[in-house]
Amino acid sequence: MDKAQAAQMMIKAREGYSKYKLETKANVRFVDTSYGKIRVLEYGFDSDAVKPLYVDIHGGGYCIGSPEMDEAMNLFIRSRADVKIISIDWPKAPENPYPIGQEATYQVIKHYSDNAKKYKINKDNIGTGGYSSGGNFATVIPIKARERGDFRIKYQMLCVPGVDISGNPYGKPGSAKVLSGEFLEAIYLCYLPEPKYGKEPYASPRIAPKEMLIGQPPALLIAAGLDPLYPQYIDYAARLKDAGVEVEIHDFKNADHDFFFGQTEDSMKAREAIANFIKKHSQA
């Protein structure tokens, strides 16, 4: 497979996600970044009270998806935790390869932090959360924020996160029903300008040196035992713990990569765990 073939595969895959582009209940805002205007869905911003901010980062293999995919989950979180929520429509590969999506997301969060008084949010109480590729952003952004000193992330919610894009896409165990080797190869080809970028810790935080992980915020890991990415994020959780980071793990042994979208007992337990984690750490 070459980059052109991979791009065609991702563009075709986007058609399957068009059903999620429904009318949203959120307020829609466009935030200026160095990568253009980024569409952001806002939940709870009609309140004049100053509240914590939860940043939702949707998944989609760095190439597909939209924040509307997460709307049901974000409304559920709002029903359980007294937070304001933004969900970011970050720029997708292959048109916007690494690190554009991640950096644009970072700039959006910085915008809200810098304008905390305007948005009536507590800039000292911001959490990130993401699913799959969004989980990658959700754990790398706290690292970058600490290094750059722009803002502070208080906690990170990681649901089946992609944390290592440096290896063989065909060498991952799991069901391959959602993430086949071919699909992962296409993701790698579309997202990374060159394979060497996969070995950067900001692309693959699993391989980050320990000193980069020390001082990172408490993490929740939602794991799915049949997921081809399972070994990498279980190992990443161990590395976080070794660096002194508080990590809470909910391991669903018989679930696959996209189980949290479903209505199974496991998916409902995962949603409860996510909402409880955000409530606990945003209200502390």
pLDDT tens readout for residues 197-221: 999 999 999 999 999 999 999 999 9
The two tokens of residue 188 are 């790698």
Range of the domain at 27: 3-283
User: Distance between CA atoms of 217 and 198, rounded to whole angstroms?
Assistant: 24
- Angle between helical axes of 100-114 and 133-148 (0-180°, round to 10): 60
How far apart, in Å, do the first and last CA atoms of the chain sit? 49
Percentage of the chain beyond pLDDT 90 is 90
Residue 123 contacts residue 96 (beta carbons within 8 Å): no
Tens-place pLDDT, residues 4-14: 999 999 988 88
pLDDT above 70: residue 20: no
Tens-place pLDDT, residues 96-145: 999 999 999 999 999 999 999 999 999 999 999 999 999 999 999 999 99
The total domain count for the chain is 1
pLDDT above 70: residue 21: no
What's the whole-model pTM score?
A: 0.97
The two tokens of residue 235 are 């190992």
Assign residue 202 the CATH number of its domain: 3.40.50.1820
Looking at per-residue confidence, does 239 or 261 come out higher? 239
Count of all residues that appear for the chain in the document: 284
